[in-house]
Amino acid sequence: MLWGLDWRAIALGLLAVVLAVGLGAWAGIEVGAWAGVLAALAGLFPAAVLAAAAARRQRNVARMKEQQEIRRRYAPPKRTPGREGQE
């Protein structure tokens, strides 16, 4: 996981961008009241998808920190230089 992003969080972010571009383009093509409705949807859907991606990233970062803490806690003791042969 790079910066707490897994493939699902990246997919959600890309989906948000595709939704924003697609719905915005569709709103530009339509004429009349539908253009306003589509423009409003273009603003709502990507925001919800990005919020889900951000929440997923936050969970991933918390899980990574927890795993690092467990690894640190149960890691074998490190050798101290210059103390070989001493008990």
pLDDT for residue 36: 64
Beta strand spans in the chain (E): none
The answer to whether 9 and 53 are in contact (CB under 8 A) is yes
Angle value at C-alpha 28, between 22 and 30, nearest 5 degrees: 100
pLDDT for residue 68: 92
Which residues face 5 on adjacent strands? 2
- What would the two tokens of residue 70 be? 């467990």
Q: What's the pTM value of the predicted model, to 2 decimals?
A: 0.49
- 10-residue mean pLDDT profile of the chain (87 residues): values are 66 77 72 67 74 84 92 85 63
pLDDT for residue 81: 73
pLDDT for residue 47: 76
Nearest-CA neighbor of 53 among 84, 85, 15, 2? 15
Which residues face 2 on adjacent strands? 5
Q: Domain coordinates of the chain in residue numbers?
A: 7-73
